[in-house]
Amino acid sequence: MATLTPKLAVQLASVAYDIQKPSSSGLYRFGKSAPEVEKAFQFDLSNGPIQGVSGSILARMLKRSTGFAAVGKGKGTYDGDHVIAIRGTASLSDGITDAHIGLTGGDNNSMIHAGFNKTFQSMKPALEQTLTPMLARSSTGTVHCVGHSLGGALAHLTADWVKRRYKNKVFLYTFGAPRVGLDGFAMKTSNNIDRIFRCTHAADPVPMVPLWPFVHAPYQGEEVLLAQGQGISFAAHKMAVEATPGYLNTANNDSWRSLQTKSSLNHIAVRFKYENRHQASFSSYWAEKISSGLITLLKDAGYYTAVMAQAAIGTGLTFYDMLARTLEAVAKASTKLAEQTKGLLGHMLVFARQAVTTVAELSFKFIRWVFDATLGALYRTAREAINSVM
């Protein structure tokens, strides 16, 4: 039961971009040189790739499908195994899917990103039609699910579904993938999928979104940190060898053991002091710390369970409207909680690179504006990254 090497996994994630549309001759083929892929797996694209519908509401209404996944049969070391390589976001229309944050129930009965789920559900019938005869002949082989960016999110949903549907061993490999669901989804998939390799660059904004209450899997586990970096940069999301750092460069390794790992603890108590707000910066470290500070504040005030319940079932308000109303109530509850709220908001303003970081009031209107500024700073960079993946 061999795992894919980092080098093989990242090449599979890269070549998956070639199947979005057919060539000028009408045929689908991998255009990039990927020697590791050619040695390990055989792909039959004569009938085209697995199609999916993504992007805008108009694209979904018109059922405008494009190639999303290719299924390969293993050979040599991977004889008896199969791989599902799923492409990431290569156009603005797909970027809209990444930024559309609604919640829906997933196949494992936990709450997930509605946009990712719509694309996955559009792919699932063709995936099932392709995989069922293959896995009937290879019930003991491992199914490897691989993807970068949006492809990583879809690979995550695919891996969880394949494990439940077919019972084969399933390994998941993602590069620069966003969060897919709430903590219930992260916990269930962490227990269901046999192995998860979540690879990131420290400055890549896409793994930082969607923000809490979305949570990464493996839950309370580790990520493979392929490159350190200062700040947050759209360029850190790129795949290409020509990019810096470029996932094809940083994952160009034959062993997972030689790569750096980082603990991904989801709940560490953090309480901010307002006077220390200028220590914050626009970086992945502070994005995680601010999320932890928000969770700590809600737990200290006794609102965490109620907020999570409302996030899961949905309300008439948007999640951040509801959260701003909650923080307004928290600040009114006691002087201590008001100071803790003020400290959180001050750090958020510095993170968002606002010229003025003074917190003069703790009203719903002001708190909502701080959320908008913080979300806007991160999502602008993430959208830029999503639409320049290669």
334/85 Cα distance (integer angstroms): 52
Determine the distance from the C-alpha atom of residue 140 to the mean position of all C-alpha atoms in its chain, rounded to a whole number: 29
The answer to whether the beta carbons of residues 169 and 194 sit under 8 Å apart is yes
Q: Is the dihedral of CA 218, 220, 222, 228 positive or negative?
A: positive
Structure confidence by residue, pLDDT tens digits, 160-178: 999 999 989 999 999 999 9
**C-alpha to C-alpha distance for 232 and 58, rounded to whole angstroms:** 32
Going by their DSSP bridges, the two strands 65-74 and 82-86 should be labelled as antiparallel
Instruction: Measure the CA angle with vertex 82, ends 77 and 85; round to 5°.
Output: 110
Q: Tell me the two tokens of residue 91.
A: 């156009």
Averaged pLDDT, 261-271: 83
Q: Which residue has the higher pLDDT, 143 or 357?
A: 143
**DSSP of 45-110, one letter per residue?**
-TT--EEEE-SSHHHHHTT-EEEEEEEEEE-GGGTT-EEEEE----SHHHHHHHH---EEE-TTSS
Nearest CA to 116 among 127, 105, 126? 105
Residue 154 has pLDDT above 70, yes or no: yes
pLDDT at 96 over 70: no
Q: How far is CA 95 from CA 89, 91, 99, 101, 188, in A?
A: 6, 6, 6, 12, 27
- pLDDT the model gives residue 30: 78
In the predicted model, what is the mean pLDDT of residues 267-284?
Answer: 94
Does the pLDDT of residue 99 top 50, yes or no?
no
Q: Which residue has the higher pLDDT, 354 or 61?
A: 354
Rounded to an integer, the average pLDDT of 302-315 is 84
Q: According to the model, what pLDDT value does residue 55 have? A: 59
Percent of the chain beyond pLDDT 90? 65
Residue 33 has pLDDT above 90, yes or no: no
Q: What's the mean pLDDT in 384-388?
A: 83
Tokens of 38: 């050619």
Cα distance between residue 116 and residue 106, in whole Å: 10
Question: Amino acid identity of 285?
Answer: Y
Mean pLDDT of 39-50: 86
Confidence of residue 341 (pLDDT cuts 50, 70, 90): very high
d(CA 305, CA 294): 13
* Residues shown for the chain: 390
For 93-117, what is the mean pLDDT?
74
Can you tell me the distance from the alpha carbon of 56 to that of 107, in angstroms, rounded to the nearest whole number?
23
Instruction: Yes or no: say if 352 and 54 are a contact pair by the CB < 8 Å rule.
Output: no
Between CA 263 and CA 225 the distance in angstroms is 10
pLDDT-derived band at 226, boundaries 50, 70, 90? very high
Q: How far apart are CA 1 and CA 122, in angstroms?
A: 30
Over range 187-195, report the average pLDDT.
Answer: 97
Token digits of residue 176: 């620069």
* pLDDT for position 16: 92
DSSP per residue over 108-131, as a string?
TSSEEEHHHHHHHHHHHHHHHHHH
- Give the whole-angstrom CA distance, residue 322 versus residue 71: 42
Which pair of tokens denotes residue 220? 């309370």
The yes-or-no verdict on residue 345 having pLDDT over 70 is yes
Strands (E), 138-287: 142-148, 169-175, 195-201, 222-227, 261-263
Domains (range + CATH), the chain: 6-266 (3.40.50.1820), 274-382 (no CATH)
Confidence of residue 314 (pLDDT cuts 50, 70, 90): low
Flag whether pLDDT at 98 surpasses 50.
no
The average pLDDT across 206-219 equals 91
Whether residue 82 contacts residue 71, with contact meaning beta carbons closer than 8 Å, is answered with yes
pLDDT at 232: 93
Would you give the DSSP letter of residue 208?
Answer: G
The pLDDT assigned to 61 comes to: 60
Residue 101 confidence (pLDDT) above 90? no
Residue 16: DSSP 8-state: G
Rounded to the nearest 5°, which phi and psi values hold at 151?
-60, -35
Model pLDDT for residues 76-93, shown as the tens digit of each residue: 999 999 999 999 875 544
Q: Quick check: helix, strand or coil at residue 254?
A: coil
